[in-house]
Amino acid sequence: MAAWRARAIEMYPSDFRDTSEDVRITLLAARCSSRRAEIADALVDLLVALADEINARAERGVEKQLTAELKKVRGKEGILAAAGRVPQCDSSGLSTAAVARTTGRCCRRC
């Protein structure tokens, strides 16, 4: 097959006209068969490259998302809301036990 293909590649179109019909059909069939295989191989290579690119983009997206998640502080909104509230002190100057344990003070005035 390789010899027929090599012979067909070297020939000019006018050379095909000078050969017998059986030889011409055989040469063209060999050339077409090998060319079809080359095209299929090239398409598979392109498909693999495309899949690799899609995979790389997906990995970058996941890494970006994980990095953003790691930067988040769990419960940050609740901590900020609790810190923003001014605890009310009773007559002895003590606030609720939960706030006192969290801040170490009874209120902002203390």
So what's the pLDDT on residue 105? 56
Share of the chain above pLDDT 70, in %: 70
- Give the pLDDT confidence of 34-68 residue by residue, as tens digits: 889 999 999 999 999 999 999 999 999 998 888 88
Q: What is the pLDDT of residue 14?
A: 80
The full set of domain ranges for the chain reads: 2-103
SS (H, E, C) the chain: CHHHHHHHHHCCHHHHHHCCHHHHHHHHHHHHHHHHHHHHHHHHHHHHHHHHHHHHHHHHHHHHHHHHHHHCCCCHHHHHHHHHCCCCCCCCCCCCHHHHHHHCCCCCCC
pLDDT at 98: 52
